[in-house]
């Protein structure tokens, strides 16, 4: 019997990494994933982090767009 070698790689993303992933989703008009990544970036931010205002800006707009899409879908279904 041979012993199996298992390699586990753990990658920890910083607030900046999450912000960049959210920004890339935003640039692709993928607002659902923008919200997810910006929330994660927000959770990982330090109090004095320079990304705080930008994260909130992207998060606010993406949340608006997701809610708008849900409202439009509901109005189409009801008619």
Show the domains of the chain with their CATH numbers: 15-78 (1.25.40.10)
Q: Identify which has the larger pLDDT, 69 or 64.
A: 64
pLDDT of 46: 87
Cβ–Cβ < 8 Å for 59, 43: no
SS (H, E, C) 4-73: CCCCCCCCCCCHHHHHHHHHHHHHCCCHHHHHHHHHHHHHHCCCCCCCHHHHHHHHHHHHHHHHHHHHHH
End-to-end CA distance of the chain: 66
pLDDT above 70: percentage of residues in the chain: 87
* pLDDT beyond 60 at 79: no
* pLDDT beyond 80 at 77: no
pLDDT of 1: 65
What pTM was estimated for this model as a whole? 0.77
Q: How many residues does the chain have?
A: 79
């Amino acid at each position: 019997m041979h012993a199996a070698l298992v390699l586990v790689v753990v990658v920890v993303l910083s607030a900046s990494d999450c912000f960049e992933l959210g920004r890339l989703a935003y640039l692709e008009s993928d607002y659902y994933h923008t919200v997810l990544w910006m929330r994660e970036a927000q959770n990982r931010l330090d109090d004095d982090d320079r990304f705080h205002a930008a994260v909130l800006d992207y998060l606010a707009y993406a949340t608006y767009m997701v809610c708008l899409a849900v409202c439009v879908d509901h109005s189409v279904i009801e008619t």
